[in-house]
Homo-oligomer: A and B are copies of this chain.
Amino acid sequence: MKNKIKIARVSMDLTQQQLADKVGVTRQTISLIEKGKYNPSLKLCLQICYTVNKTLDELFWLEREEWRNGKN
């Protein structure tokens, strides 16, 4: 589950911990999502978007192709 959270996060000058706190989740959860090892809930995706000022498409969109190539 690839995504662009890390780029958005560091460009906001946030640490995983800080993002986690703002979003109300654990640092580990952020870490695993950034690493593409988690399949986050829509709710969490939205909260991350709000915190780093991005939209769902900007952070999480994947074309069918890249989708199928990933592990899922």
Measured CB to CB, the nearest residue on chain B to A43 is B39
Interface string of A1-37 (1 = CB under 8 A from B): 1000000000000000000000000000000000000
**Interface bracket on A:** 10 to 19
Q: How often does this chain occur in the complex, in copies?
A: 2
B67 touches A61 (CB 8 A): no
- Write the residues of chain A forming the contact surface with B, with a CB cutoff of 8 angstroms: 1, 39-43, 45-46, 50, 55-57, 60-62, 64, 67, 72
What are some 28 contacts across the A-B interface (CB < 8 A)? A1-B42, A1-B43, A39-B41, A39-B42, A39-B43, A40-B41, A40-B42, A41-B41, A41-B42, A42-B42, A42-B45, A42-B60, A43-B72, A45-B45, A46-B60, A46-B61, A46-B62, A46-B67, A50-B64, A50-B67, A55-B56, A55-B57, A55-B61, A56-B56, A56-B57, A56-B60, A56-B61, A57-B57
